[in-house]
Structure 1
């Protein structure tokens, strides 16, 4: 599949990592299968969307077969290319779903235009936390991942943020009542529950 020119330039310039400590753009050399553009996640997410579409669980405003997941957020939303027209990737638009909800947001522009517009405060995505830009947005490259430090994320559909917040408060973490849950808290929650399961 051809990729948009702006994405190839972005991936080359920045490499794998996160923007504003919240937005993860998948990369062909992502450090784990969960953030690798060429890994299994885009197909897994598309299959889940197709299942939701077929069952009427959450309305999908586009054909799931036209959506290609190329990023995610700390709260479990996914960023998609709307791959239409399929032979003109530089004209693809951006869609963002709502984790555990029916809302979708569409941006009429490229991924790079979307990131710039969101990170400079011009575009407000309703699914994103209101405090997203409280700190100056920056890019954080992905560090080396080892089996000891990497905890696979739970599927978005099964992770309830209120449950994570309740667990975090009970275990001494300071978390906001609303908005995003810091990545280190989510990772601690996942580690604790993996240990309980094992």
Structure 2
């Protein structure tokens, strides 16, 4: 089983149905080509909310507050104007804040990013606290990061101690 399969097997509630993402529009506007693993993740979990705390965005959502493109464009501006420690981290990777992809966020205003790489298998996850300097950098795909956090294999420097719950799950909302 893949990490995506294991994550999908967590207890789930909410609406069933396909998660529609507008990949062509998202890639055009954001100037990138998403790795196949990320597309598979968002196809499974776009609009979902894990443990009533971490929302996964969807490319092409009508609600701009959960739309991958709108939230990415807003976050890129924020990251360019602040967070010098994150800009320094990105510079080490030859990445500009204007290349980040914001794939999710939390109720505490924490931001979940993908950091692009020329090799689609080497994109990594960056989680930045809403207020402060803490961040997580995970060398791997989103589904692996999220799975490790939800199982307690990885303790985040960003998320609160009560995330995840003892029995983590997610709520599907493919139409959000």
TM-score w.r.t. the length of structure 2 is: 0.70
Q: What residue in structure 2 maps to residue 151 of structure 1?
A: none
Q: What residue in structure 2 maps to residue 43 of structure 1?
A: 73
Q: Does 1:124 align with 2:129?
A: no
SS of 1:130's partner is coil
Match of 1:67 among 85, 100, 107: 100
Q: What residue in structure 2 maps to residue 77 of structure 1?
A: 110
Superposed, 1:1-198 pairs within 5 Å as 1-38=32-69, 40-52=70-82, 56=84, 59-60=86-87, 61-62=89-90, 63-85=96-118, 88-142=119-173
Greater C-alpha Rg: 1
Bigger relative CO (Cα 8 Å, ≥ 6 apart): 2
Deviation for aligned residue 1:74:
1.1
RMSD over aligned Cα atoms: 2.0
SS of 2:82's partner is helix
Structure 1 residues 143 and 93: CA distance shift in structure 2, 3 A: closer
Conservation of the 8 A alpha-carbon contact between 2:47 and 2:175: no
Gaps of 5+ in 2: 1-31, 91-95
TM-score w.r.t. the length of structure 1 is: 0.63
Listed one character per residue, the Cα deviations across residues 55-114 of structure 1 (whole Å, up to 9, x for unaligned) are x5x6532131232211111111101111122xx333200001111112221011100111
Listed one character per residue, the Cα deviations across residues 145-183 of structure 1 (whole Å, up to 9, x for unaligned) are 6xxxxxxxxxxxxxxxxxxxxxxxxxxxxxxxxxxxxxx
Runs of 4+ in structure 1 off by over 4 angstroms are none
Question: How many residues end up aligned between the 2 structures?
Answer: 139
Quick one: distance in 1 between partners of 2:34 and 2:175? Answer: 26
Gaps of 5+ in 1: 146-198
Structure 1 residues 133 and 66: CA distance shift in structure 2, 3 A: same
Quick one: distance in 2 between partners of 1:28 and 1:144? Answer: 11
